[in-house]
Amino acid sequence: MTATRTASVPNTSNVSSPTGPSSTSHTPTDIASVASDLDVIVVGAGISGISAAHYLRERCPGTRFAMLEARQSLGGTWDLFRYPGVRSDSDMFTLGFSFRPWNSDQAIAEGGKILDYLKDTAHAEGLDGLIRYGHKLREARWDSSIARWTLDIERTYPDGRQETQQLTCRFLFMCSGYYAYDAGHSPAWPGMDDFTGKLVHPQHWPANLDYRDKRVVIIGSGATAVTLLPNMAPSAAHVTMLQRSPSYILSMPSRDGAAERLRALLPAGLAHRIVRMKNVLVTLGFYNAARRWPNAIRRVLIKRAARQAQGHVDVARDLSPRYNPWDQRLCLAPGGDIFKALRSGRASIVTDEIASFTQTGLALKSGKTLDADIVVTATGLRVQLMGGAKLLVDGEPVALADTVSYKGMMYSGVPNLASIFGYTNASWTLKAELIAQYVCRLVNHMNRHGYDTCVPRLRPHEHAELPAIGLTSGYIQRAAGELPKQGGRKPWVFYQSYFRDVRLMRWGRVDDGAMRFERRATREVDTPQVADALSGMKAASR
């Protein structure tokens, strides 16, 4: 990103840019591996970060950027979660990248295969060399006088040593997900200290946990619990899913037959695009039908689940949720695996509430007890935006709850910052790619016009009261006071519609009136790394 005024900070890139060739032979990877002042910093090296890096390299040639990853490996969610059966909750033809086809006909994939896919993608794209591991963003401070973010980084080396570093950038691209990696949501129940068995949270699954021939109770009814039950049941003595209330469980084939047939007939790239669009249409069609005819879809889902359970549960009590479909995400059961486990007799569902833990298990409010050797608290995530980093704009702390979401990717009054938050009713990657593409349009627009600042601003008559995310899921409701708001019309609406977002982000104007572009830098940057770069540019021009 460049600015044309003398008082602004020029582009210090040593690589080729849209305005002309470079003066040295350094590559973007060389620069990113050593530079401490960059055009764009991407925070996070999971699906979102890899998507962001791909499009920055492809569509913003010459832009100097690096990826910061707090952990010592890439992959995000798919590297963190290691519980039995961890898998995608969206089909892989849309969870995978549009620019790197998912080449299996396996529609719902295991976590390990997804991680391999992400590693292969990063390596094939040459993005793995741009990742700085062990870099945890603690604080980001925007200074309008230099049109830059200054980042305080806690760096952790593989041997455990730590130090604090500072980086600066013109644009901050947050791709760190929406939940805290250090710990999930863990309620406290009476008597937990009395329990003599093992207590486990899926987010930190012990590598050596042996549950063979053990009695296991899984607390929860969401996607994690629905995944754990059928994967633990074959080895455990018995697995019980203890739920306060049911979730909708939708069986779907483990493999996509259409994908297999199309790949046999068509070139791989074309087959991938057709299958991807087919799955987008099916997913969004079902979602829209559920919102329009909730009672009818509710009956269909419950009837299908009851037919597969074959009398092994009380349908009214155990399979009939209290909410409408898509008020919360549906739980997928590839190949109907959870129902097979229930029919086998090695697993069961109990709908009740916990009164207390005991030495040997759980006492329920109904008066019943559940004996357990292992209790798994599949009780959800703890929402955390910006990776937990503190944001300040010209010295003032930013409370995201006081901001309004702009196109579901930026925040009113916060300059030169975008973040990725995927769909709740479809694949995360669909929205991640749209946002990454839009950020590239934004960066290029600023470069072409010599702007150094972009900031979404509400007009005086505009206001927002609605939560940005409308789900009633526990993890969203617990974080309601921390999430931004949304308005009643674009660009302040947080759409849950891929096709509306395509129109808005691929074809909509960048300079739309709500996004304000400014040349605000009023003094030169005095950090040593930028001063050195400026000196190098002056020497090269002589």
d(CA 458, CA 403): 10
40 within 8 A of 169, measured Cβ to Cβ? yes
- Cis before 101 (ω within 30): no
Cα distance between residue 10 and residue 170, in whole Å: 11
Q: Calculate helix-pair angle for 47-59, 111-124, nearest 10 degrees.
A: 20
Question: How many residues are given for the chain?
Answer: 542
What 3-state class would DSSP assign to 95? helix
* DSSP assigned state of 62: T
Q: Give just the sign of the alpha carbon dihedral 197, 203, 209, 213.
A: positive
Q: Phi, psi (5° rounding) for residue 204? A: -135, 70
CA-based R_g, the chain, Å: 25
- According to the annotation, is 48 in a ligand binding site? yes
Token pair, residue 533, equals 């770069």
Alpha carbons 485 and 462: distance in angstroms, whole number: 12
Helices (H), 69-136: 77-80, 92-95, 111-124
Q: Is 124 labelled as part of a ligand binding site?
A: no
Q: How far apart are CA 249 and CA 285, in angstroms?
A: 18
- CB-based contact 441:510 (threshold 8 Å): yes
Residue 173's nearest CA partner among 380, 357, 421 is 421
String of b and e for 505-533 (b: at least 16 CB within 10 Å)?
Answer: beeeebeeebbebebbbeebbebebbeeb
At a CB cut-off of 8 Å and minimum separation 6, what does 321 contact?
245, 246, 247, 248, 298, 328
- In eight-state DSSP terms, residue 246 is -
CB 342 within 8 A of CB 313: yes
CA 335 to chain centre: 26
Contact (CB, 8 A) for 140 and 390: yes
Say what angle helices 337-344 and 223-232 make with each other, to 10 degrees. Answer: 50
User: Beta strands 135-143 and 390-393: pairing type?
Assistant: parallel
Residue 518 among known ligand-binding residues: no
Which residue ranges make up the annotated binding site?
48, 69-70
Which residue ranges make up the annotated binding site for FAD?
48, 69-70
